[in-house]
C-alpha cells in the first residue's frame, strides 16, 4: 500500500478526532496521575486485593469458556441457519450489550433466585445459585455472550461457505466439514470474540452486585472490591483501578493486534475471510 | 495541535457554560427571583428530606430545593471535589468529619437524628429469626453491610459485643442493597436500619433486638462554606433540627438528635 495515500479528510476533522481521543485518554491519565506510587505495591498485594483479582480471573476464564461453548453454536445458527424469527432472536441476544448491567442482575435474580423462575426447580436439585461464585459466572456470561456471538457471526458470515461446499461435494459428511473446514476457518473470529468476552467479564460489576452479592473470596470480584475500597481507602481504589486498566489494555491489545501470519486457507484469494480476522467485525 | 487545543478549550467552555446554566442559583427565565438551595443528603434520609423540602418551599416561596441523595461517602467526596452544595446531611460522623476537616463546613455540624439497626426478614419470616443470636444459626442466609460502610461497622460492633460470630453470605456496600436482598427473598435475614424497615412497608418484617442500642449512628448536618446563600441554607438546617423536622424524622423511625 502507498504510504502517501490521499485521505480526503479536512483538517478540522483531526481537531475533533483529537478531542474524541482525549475524552477517553484524559480520565485514564488522571487515574495514573492520582496513584500513590509509594504504597502501590502493598495496596495491590493486600490479601483482599489478591483474593479479588484471583476470583476475577478465575470467574472470567470460566465465563469465557461458557461463552465459547454456548456462543459458537448460536453464532453459527444465526449466521447460517434459516428459521422463523431469526432476526428477532439476533436482536434479543444482543440486548445485554445495551442493557444497564443492573437490569441484567435483576433479570438474573428473578430467573435463578430462590423465588425466581427456575428457583424452585434448582432448590429441588439442591442447587443454590445466589451468593455463590456460580452466580458471578452466570452474570458475567450474560453480559459477555453477545460479544462472542457478534464477532463470530460476522466472521462466519463474511467468510462465506465456499470451502464447506467444496468439501461437501468431495464427499465429506457434515460432521467432518464442521470439524475440518468450518471450525479452523472461524478460529480468528473466535479468538477475538473470546478475548472481548473475557475483558467484558473482567469488568462486570452491576449484574454481579445485584445478583451475586459481595463476599471476599466468593463473589467479591475486583470491580466490587474497588467499589468497596473507595468508601474508606481511595488510594487502594485507585491502585486497583490501575490494575484493571492495565489488564484491559493488555486484553484489547491482544484482541486488536494485526494477525501475524495468515493461514494457508486465508491466502490472498480469500480476502473476505482475512478481513474477518480479529477486530474487523466488532461493532 | 494549536487548533486542537482551541477546539478542546471551546468544548470545555461550552460544557461549563451549559452546566453553569443548569446550576445557576437565579433563573431569570422563570420570571424573576427564583432561588435554588442544593441539599446533599444521605440516602436513608430520602423520604423525610423530600417531605421537609416541600415544607421549606411552601414556607419560602421563590426558593426551589434541589435534593441529591447518595451514600454519605460519595457525597463527602463530591463536596471535596467542589460540587456546588449548600447543605450537607450525612449518615455518620466520619464522613461529616471528612468535610469538616477539609474546612468545607460553615460552623460546627449538629446531630439532628440517630438511627439504630434492626433485623429485616422477608414477609413470613420463613427462617424463624427471633433474636440477634438466631442470625448465627447454621444454614441461615444473612446479609449485612461491609465493615467499610457505617451500617456494617454498627453490625460488627454489636456482633462483637454479643460474642456472636456472623457468617454472612454477602457483605454489601449499602443498606439499600441489603434490604433488596431481603425483599427479593434471597436472604433469610439482613441487618438494616430501623428506618429502612419502616420504608420497605409490608414487603419485609422487622425483628427488633435490644442489643441494637450498642451501636447508635448519629446523623450530622451542616451549612457548607461554599453555600451561595448562607441565610437560606441556615433556614433549612433550622427546619430540620426544629420541632417540625424532628416530628417528620421521628415518623420515619429516626431517634431524636442532640441539641
Q: Is the dihedral of CA B88, B93, B98, B102 positive or negative?
A: positive
Contact A131 B170 (CB under 8 A): yes
- Contact list in B for residue A131 (CB cut-off 8 A) is 141, 169-170, 186
pLDDT confidence of residue A75? 94
Residue at B242 is within a domain: yes
CA B257/CA B111 separation, integer angstroms: 5
> CA of A132, closest CA in chain B: separation in Å?
8
Please name the residue of chain B whose CA is at the shortest distance from the CA of residue A14: B4
* Mean pLDDT of the region B221-227: 94
The answer to whether residue A174 neighbours chain B at the CB level (below 8 Å) is no
Share of chain A residues as helix, strand and coil, in percent rounded to the nearest 5: 75, 0, 25
**Main-chain dihedrals φ then ψ at residue A57, nearest 5 degrees:** -65, -45
Range of the domain at B198: 117-214
* Mean pLDDT of the region B10-31: 47
- Give the residue among B193, B120, B117 at the shortest CA–CA distance from B129: B120
Co-location of B134 and B189 in the same domain: yes
Contact A214 B148 (CB under 8 A): no
In a 10 Å sphere around its CB, with 0-12 CB exposed, 13-18 middle and 19+ buried, how is residue B83 labelled?
middle
Co-location of B108 and B232 in the same domain: yes
CA B23/CA B34 separation, integer angstroms: 12
**Between A47-80 and A222-232, two packed helices, what is the crossing angle to 10 degrees?**
140
- Contact list in A for residue B4 (CB cut-off 8 A) is 14-15, 18-19
* Position with higher pLDDT, A272 vs B97: B97
- Best mutation target among A15, A138, A225 (most B Cβ atoms within 10 Å) is A15
CATH number, domain at B168? Answer: 3.40.190.10
- Contact list in A for residue B8 (CB cut-off 8 A) is 18-19, 22
pLDDT confidence of residue A270? 40
User: From the list B11, B73, B185, which residue is nearest A231 (CB)?
Assistant: B73
Co-location of B173 and B131 in the same domain: yes
Reported confidence tier of residue B181, pLDDT bands at 50, 70, 90: very high
Co-location of B109 and B177 in the same domain: no
The answer to whether residue A227 neighbours chain B at the CB level (below 8 Å) is yes
Co-location of B180 and B152 in the same domain: yes
- Give the residue among A77, A250, A88 at the shortest CA–CA distance from A152: A77
Task: Give the three cell numbers for residue A196.
Answer: 472481548
pLDDT confidence of residue B259? 52
- Contact list in A for residue B177 (CB cut-off 8 A) is 209
Asked if B156 contacts B135 with a C-beta cutoff of 8 angstroms, the reply is: no
Q: What is the CATH number of domain A38-275?
A: 1.10.3720.10
* Position with higher pLDDT, B189 vs A114: B189
Residue with cell 426478614: B121
pLDDT confidence of residue A120? 80
Per-residue pLDDT of chain A (283 residues; tens, 9 = 90+): 455 677 788 888 999 999 999 999 999 999 999 999 999 999 999 999 999 999 999 999 999 999 999 999 999 999 988 889 988 999 999 999 899 988 999 999 889 988 888 888 887 888 888 889 999 999 999 999 999 999 899 888 887 788 888 988 998 898 898 888 888 888 888 998 999 999 999 999 999 998 999 999 999 999 999 999 988 888 999 999 999 999 888 888 887 775 544 443 443 334 433 343 343 333 3
Complete DSSP assignment for A57-122: HHHHHHHHHHHHHHHHHHHHHHHH---TTHHHHHHHHHHHHHS-HHHHHHHHHHHHSTTSTTHHHH
Residue at B72 is within a domain: yes
User: From the list B146, B171, B186, which residue is nearest A130 (CB)?
Assistant: B186
Q: With a cut of 0.90, is the ipTM above it? A: no
Structural domain boundaries in chain A: 6-35, 38-275
State the average pLDDT for chain B.
86
Other Cβ atoms closer than 10 A to A109? 26
Co-location of B104 and B224 in the same domain: yes
pLDDT exceeding 70 applies to what percent of chain B?
86
Residue B74 pLDDT > 70, yes or no?
Answer: yes
> CA of A2, closest CA in chain B: separation in Å?
25
User: From the list A19, A219, A227, which residue is nearest B8 (CB)?
Assistant: A19
Q: Using one digit for the tens of pLDDT, what is the confidence trace for B235-259?
A: 999 999 999 999 999 999 999 876 5
CA A142/CA A154 separation, integer angstroms: 20
- pTM recorded for the entire structure: 0.79
The number of folded domains in chain B is: 2
Contact B181 A213 (CB under 8 A): yes
pLDDT confidence of residue B25? 43
The answer to whether residue A15 neighbours chain B at the CB level (below 8 Å) is yes
User: From the list B71, B168, B186, which residue is nearest A215 (CB)?
Assistant: B168
Other Cβ atoms closer than 10 A to B150? 29
Domain termination residue (choose one: B199, B214, B229):
B214
Co-location of B110 and B222 in the same domain: yes
- Contact list in B for residue A12 (CB cut-off 8 A) is 3, 7
In a 10 Å sphere around its CB, with 0-12 CB exposed, 13-18 middle and 19+ buried, how is residue B7 labelled?
middle
Please name the residue of chain B whose CA is at the shortest distance from the CA of residue A129: B186
Co-location of B126 and B200 in the same domain: yes
DSSP H helices in chain B = 2-23, 46-59, 72-80, 93-101, 150-162, 175-183, 194-200, 230-241, 243-251
Reported confidence tier of residue B40, pLDDT bands at 50, 70, 90: very high
- Contact list in B for residue A115 (CB cut-off 8 A) is 184-186
* Mean pLDDT of the region B174-202: 90
Contact B8 A214 (CB under 8 A): no
CA A137/CA A67 separation, integer angstroms: 10
> CA of B85, closest CA in chain A: separation in Å?
20
> CA of A222, closest CA in chain B: separation in Å?
14
Co-location of B197 and B249 in the same domain: no
Residue at B4 is within a domain: no
Co-location of B69 and B95 in the same domain: yes
Co-location of B109 and B224 in the same domain: yes
Contact B148 A210 (CB under 8 A): no
pLDDT confidence of residue A95? 92
CA A212/CA A221 separation, integer angstroms: 10
CA B97/CA B220 separation, integer angstroms: 9
Amino acid at each position: 500500500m502507498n504510504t502517501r495515500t490521499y485521505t480526503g479528510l479536512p483538517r478540522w476533522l483531526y481537531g475533533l478526532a483529537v478531542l474524541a481521543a482525549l475524552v477517553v485518554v484524559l480520565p485514564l491519565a488522571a487515574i495514573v496521575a492520582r496513584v500513590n506510587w509509594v504504597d502501590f505495591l502493598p495496596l495491590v498485594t493486600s490479601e483482599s486485593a489478591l483474593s479479588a483479582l484471583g476470583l476475577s480471573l478465575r470467574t472470567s476464564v470460566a465465563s469465557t469458556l461458557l461463552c465459547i461453548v454456548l456462543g459458537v453454536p448460536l453464532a453459527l445458527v444465526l449466521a447460517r441457519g434459516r428459521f422463523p424469527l431469526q432476526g428477532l432472536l439476533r436482536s434479543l441476544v444482543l440486548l445485554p450489550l445495551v442493557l444497564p448491567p443492573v437490569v441484567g442482575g435483576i433479570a438474573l435474580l428473578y430467573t435463578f433466585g430462590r423465588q425466581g423462575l427456575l428457583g424452585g426447580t434448582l432448590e429441588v436439585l439442591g442447587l443454590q445459585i445466589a451468593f455463590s461464585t456460580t452466580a458471578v459466572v452466570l452474570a458475567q456470561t450474560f453480559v459477555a455472550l453477545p460479544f462472542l456471538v457478534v464477532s463470530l457471526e460476522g466472521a462466519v458470515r463474511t467468510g462465506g461457505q465456499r470451502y464447506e461446499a467444496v468439501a461437501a461435494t468431495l464427499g465429506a459428511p457434515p460432521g467432518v466439514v464442521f470439524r475440518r473446514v468450518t471450525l479452523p476457518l472461524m478460529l480468528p473470529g473466535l479468538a477475538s470474540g473470546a478475548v472481548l468476552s473475557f475483558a467484558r467479564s473482567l469488568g462486570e460489576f452491576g449484574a454481579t452486585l445485584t445478583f451475586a452479592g459481595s463476599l471476599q473470596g466468593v463473589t467479591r470480584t475486583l470491580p466490587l472490591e474497588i467499589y468497596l475500597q473507595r468508601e474508606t481507602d481511595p488510594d487502594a481504589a485507585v491502585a486497583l483501578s490501575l490494575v484493571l486498566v492495565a489488564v484491559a489494555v493488555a486484553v484489547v491489545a491482544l484482541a486488536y493486534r494485526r494477525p501475524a501470519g495468515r493461514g494457508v486457507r486465508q491466502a490472498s484469494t480469500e480476502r473476505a475471510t482475512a478481513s474477518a480476522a480479529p477486530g474487523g467485525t466488532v461493532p | 495541535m494549536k487548533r486542537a487545543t482551541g477546539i478542546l478549550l471551546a468544548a470545555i467552555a461550552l460544557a461549563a457554560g451549559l452546566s453553569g446554566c443548569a446550576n445557576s442559583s437565579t433563573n431569570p427565565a422563570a420570571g424573576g427571583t427564583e432561588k435554588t438551595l442544593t441539599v446533599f443528603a444521605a440516602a436513608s434520609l430520602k423520604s423525610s428530606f423530600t417531605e421537609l423540602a416541600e415544607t421549606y418551599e411552601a414556607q419560602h416561596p421563590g426558593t426551589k430545593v434541589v435534593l441529591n441523595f447518595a451514600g454519605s461517602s460519595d457525597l463527602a467526596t463530591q463536596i471535596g471535589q467542589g460540587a456546588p452544595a449548600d447543605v450537607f446531611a450525612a449518615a455518620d460522623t466520619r464522613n461529616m468529619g471528612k468535610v469538616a476537616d477539609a474546612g468545607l463546613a460553615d460552623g460546627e455540624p449538629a446531630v439532628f437524628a440517630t438511627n439504630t439497626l434492626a433485623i429485616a426478614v422477608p414477609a413470613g419470616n420463613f427462617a424463624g429469626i427471633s433474636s440477634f443470636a438466631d442470625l448465627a444459626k447454621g444454614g441461615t442466609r444473612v446479609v449485612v453491610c461491609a465493615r467499610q460502610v457505617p451500617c456494617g461497622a454498627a453490625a460488627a460492633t454489636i456482633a462483637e459485643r454479643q460474642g456472636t460470630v456472623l457468617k454472612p453470605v454477602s457483605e454489601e456496600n449499602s443498606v439499600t442493597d441489603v434490604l433488596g436482598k431481603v425483599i427479593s427473598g434471597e436472604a433469610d435475614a439482613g441487618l438494616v436500619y430501623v428506618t429502612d424497615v419502616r420504608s420497605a412497608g409490608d414487603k419485609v418484617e422487622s425483628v427488633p433486638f435490644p442489643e441494637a442500642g450498642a451501636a447508635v449512628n448519629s446523623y450530622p448536618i451542616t451549612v457548607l462554606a461554599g453555600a451561595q446563600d448562607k441565610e437560606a441554607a441556615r433556614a433549612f438546617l433550622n427546619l430540620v433540627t426544629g420541632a417540625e423536622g424532628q416530628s417528620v424524622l421521628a415518623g420515619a423511625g429516626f431517634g431524636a438528635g442532640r441539641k
